[in-house]
C-alpha cells in the first residue's frame, strides 16, 4: 500500500450527515464549483468539469468507496496531468462537529515532488475550507 502524498485535516462545526450532504450536493463546493457527474456507485465513473483560471477542464475517475457520512474515495486523473491519484475523505463525529481527513495517494509509478505536494496540500486545504464554510452555514 502506498503512502499518501498529501493529508489534510479539518474540524467542521456540523454533523457528519450535513458535511456529507454538502460534499455530494450539486454543484459541490468541495470541487471548486465544478460540475460533478456520477451516480455515486462503487465502480462507476465520476467526472468533474468546469473552468479553472480561464481554462476548461475535465477530470475523471472511478468511485472506490461510498460509505454514506463516513467515507468517500475515488480515483482522480486530471485532464492535463496524466497521473492518477486515489482521493479519500474520511468523516468522523467529534462531539457536535465532524473531523474530516483527506488523503491523496499517487497510483502506479507516479512520483510526486515536494513542490507538487505543497501545491496539492494548498489546493485541498482551500477546498476543505470552502466545504467547511458551506456545511457550517447550512448546519
Buried b (16+ CB within 10 A) or exposed e, 88-101: bbbbeeeeebbbbb
The tens digit of pLDDT for each residue in 43-85 reads 999 999 988 788 888 999 999 999 999 999 999 998 666 689 9
What is the CATH architecture assignment of 6-138? 2-Layer Sandwich (3.30)
Whether 96 shows a pLDDT value over 90: the answer reads: yes
Domain spans of the chain? 6-138
Question: Would the pTM count as exceeding 0.85?
Answer: yes
Q: Dig out the grid coordinates for 5 from the structure.
A: 502524498
Amino acid at each position: 500500500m502506498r503512502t499518501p502524498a498529501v493529508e489534510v485535516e479539518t474540524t467542521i462545526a456540523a454533523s457528519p450527515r450535513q458535511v456529507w450532504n454538502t460534499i455530494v450536493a450539486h454543484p459541490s463546493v468541495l470541487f471548486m464549483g465544478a460540475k460533478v457527474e456520477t451516480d455515486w456507485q462503487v465502480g462507476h465513473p465520476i467526472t468533474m468539469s468546469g473552468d479553472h483560471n480561464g481554462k476548461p477542464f475535465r477530470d475523471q475517475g472511478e468511485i472506490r468507496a461510498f460509505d454514506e457520512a463516513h467515507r468517500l474515495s475515488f480515483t482522480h486523473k486530471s485532464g492535463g496531468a496524466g497521473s492518477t491519484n486515489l482521493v479519500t475523505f474520511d468523516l468522523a463525529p467529534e462531539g457536535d462537529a465532524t473531523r474530516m481527513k483527506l488523503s491523496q495517494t499517487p497510483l502506479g509509478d507516479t512520483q510526486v515532488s515536494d513542490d507538487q505536494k505543497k501545491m496539492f496540500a494548498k489546493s485541498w486545504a482551500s477546498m476543505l475550507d470552502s466545504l467547511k464554510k458551506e456545511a457550517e452555514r447550512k448546519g
